[in-house]
Structure 1
């Protein structure tokens, strides 16, 4: 489900493109009457690899529904291609790291006792595996930065479902943070503000009866951070 642009006549302040983690951001912006274009265009697992084709000044989402949403957002902004974007681009692509951390994905790399070898989760091999998993998400950010856009990537709720390994979640997230920072992407990183002593999301910022998403209160914190950055 997408979160459409504000219905006010005020020009949009940013383009939001992402997976379901973008939903609370859009809802918070709508509630605060902050004009924006965009919203979630699919589920997170669809935006890691194999979802994108790039052109000189634009991009094509391979799933027709996602691309239709994208073109509609550009139309709302009055631009023909993403290269013409005159407002910051905010995205959650590449940060559905709980899917990277699915426990069974990593069985091959465990020792006989079920543990990882010392240093594996901070190794070059681990980084390379994660970057392959997220290759099209990274291409999206690299292309947007190459076009001169201001790009902000939002870290996900710090929540790990039962199917995923918390250690891999944190390590994969760190890999993505380092890689995107090196591309000049601004990281919207609220970990210090939204976690408790466990290192994971505080209950009052979690969507009820849902193992991975943040709620509207979490979206409001992200929106506040974006506004502090001048969006």
Structure 2
């Protein structure tokens, strides 16, 4: 899923960088006539482990296609790099919670009944594991914080595919949210508005024939939140 740079001639209001969860945000912004630059640079798993290198204040994505798109997005803003970025950065890096929650990653931590010990998902050990699994994204937010950028991170649709453990999904995204917020990032959390009593995303905000992504309606809620924050 890709969202190209905005082609509007109006000044962009923000730079959108992320994984496939950024697609519906870009689609909703375009539908609303909200000028922006950016879009997805790859899939969610690409931005959990180390995915970029630094050269002073600037970064370089290790994946050639990601680097090409990144430079294209910056060119649309007339920006040489993240340092001195003229608009806020909207990002979804690190919130590929369904990947972190892949069942086989956590089997070693289950008891004989196949359950987690009661305190496990709230433990410092669990948090440390999640931080290790998302260290690339956390390093990215460390870098943006060092540059003094205004960054708004968007939490993922509350959709847990069969390959993932729902309890780990919900607990892991909370760890990532808290870690990112501790770095001075504003977090868009729409869970109270898009989920049912079980915590699952309601069908009205789900992309049809898809087990992971939000739809245009979900993207519109994100865009409304961005506008409320002055973007």
TM-score, length-scaled by structure 1 = 0.98
Distance 1:100 1:90 in 2: 21
Q: Are residues 1:223 and 2:223 paired? A: yes
Where in structure 1 are there 5+ consecutive unaligned residues?
none
1:108 equivalent in structure 2: 108
Where in structure 2 are there 5+ consecutive unaligned residues?
none
TM-score, length-scaled by structure 2 = 0.98
1:186 equivalent in structure 2: 186
2:59 equivalent in structure 1: 59
Distance 2:8 2:60 in 1: 28
Cα RMSD between the aligned structures? 0.8
Q: Are residues 1:163 and 2:163 paired? A: yes
Q: Secondary structure at the match of 1:84?
A: coil
2:98 equivalent in structure 1: 98
Distance 1:10 1:57 in 2: 28
Distance 1:48 1:135 in 2: 6
1:1-231 equivalences in 2 (<5 Å): 1-231=1-231
Q: Secondary structure at the match of 2:17?
A: strand
Number of residue pairs matched by the alignment: 231
Point out 4+ residue stretches in structure 1 off by more than 2 angstroms. Answer: 4-8
Distance 1:6 1:71 in 2: 14
